[in-house]
Amino acid sequence: MTFPLPITVLAFLMALATAAYSQDIRRYGCLPPAEVTADITARELASATRACVEDDQPRRAIQLYLTYSSFIIFDQQRVKDESAHLVVGELNSWILTGYEYDKMQELKHWIDQLRDADSAYLKETCAGITAVGPPTYRPDYMIKRGMQPRKSDEDWVTQDFDPVAAWDKALYEINPCPRP
C-alpha cells in the first residue's frame, strides 16, 4: 500500500485521537464553565474544549481543559485496566494539535495564567471545578478502550478505589489548583 503523503507521528496520533473521539458522545459547543456538571464525561469536555479553541475563546478553552484534565485523571485512578488509560494521550493529542501559531500563543497565555499560583484566573477556574465536584458518570469512553478480559459489568473499578483521595490527587497533586 502506498500513501500520497508520508505518514508522520502527528498524523498517526491524530488517527488514534479521532478513533477515541468518534465514539458516541453528547456534543457540546463551547460550553461555559459554569454549565459544566459532574455527569459530562471527560471525552465530552475534550470536545467542548476543542470547540472553544475553534470559536476563538482561548480563556474558556483552557478553563475547560483543566476541568477535562481533572476528570480524566480521576477516571484513570478508578479504571483498573491500565491499557484503557491510553485514551488519555489520544484525547490530549486531539485537543492540543492542529492549530495555527497565533492560536497556540493565545492558548499559551491562559496556560501561563494557570501556572501562576497567585492568578485570579487559576483561582476562579479551580473554584468552578471544585464546585462541580468529581465525575459521577461511568467512564465507558475509557473502559471500552481496555484490553483486559472482563468478567462482569462492574469489574472495571480499581479495588478499594477512594473517590475522595482520587479527586484530591486530580485537583491538587497533579493539576495546579491551590488547596482551599
> Does the residue 116 lie in any domain?
yes
To the nearest 10 degrees (0 to 180), the angle between helices 86-96 and 58-78 is 170
Overall number of domains in the chain = 1
How far is it, in rounded angstroms, from Cα 126 to Cα 135?
Answer: 15
Output the pLDDT for position 24: 53
Nearest to 139 by CA among 46, 15, 53, 52: 46
6 φψ region: left (φ > 0), alpha (ψ -120 to 50), beta (else): beta
Contacts of 16 (CB under 8 A, 6+ apart): 90, 93
Asked whether residue 58 is assigned to any structural domain, the reply reads yes
Set of cell numbers at residue 173: 497533586
The per-residue pLDDT for 15 is: 46
Residue 94 backbone phi and psi in degrees, to 5: -65, -40
SS3 157: strand
The rounded distance, in Å, linking the Cα atoms of 166 and 121 is 24
Taking the model in full, what pTM does it have? 0.85
How many Å apart are CA 43 and CA 144, to the nearest integer? 13
Quote the CA–CA distance of 146 and 67 in Å, as a whole number: 23
In contact, 73 and 172? CB cutoff 8 Å = no
Q: Is the residue at 180 inside a domain?
A: no
Question: Is 4 part of a structural domain of the chain?
Answer: no
H/E segment holding residue 59:
helix 58-78
Beta-carbon contacts of 19 under 8 Å, excluding residues fewer than 6 positions away, are: 90
Grid cell in block for residue 15: 488517527
Please report, in tens digits, the pLDDT of each residue of the chain (180 residues total). 444 444 444 444 444 444 444 445 688 999 999 999 999 999 999 999 999 999 999 999 999 999 999 999 999 999 999 999 999 999 999 998 999 999 999 999 999 999 999 999 999 999 999 999 999 999 999 999 999 888 888 889 999 999 999 999 999 999 999 998
Domain membership of residue 81 (yes or no) is yes
> Which range of residues forms the domain containing residue 32?
9-174
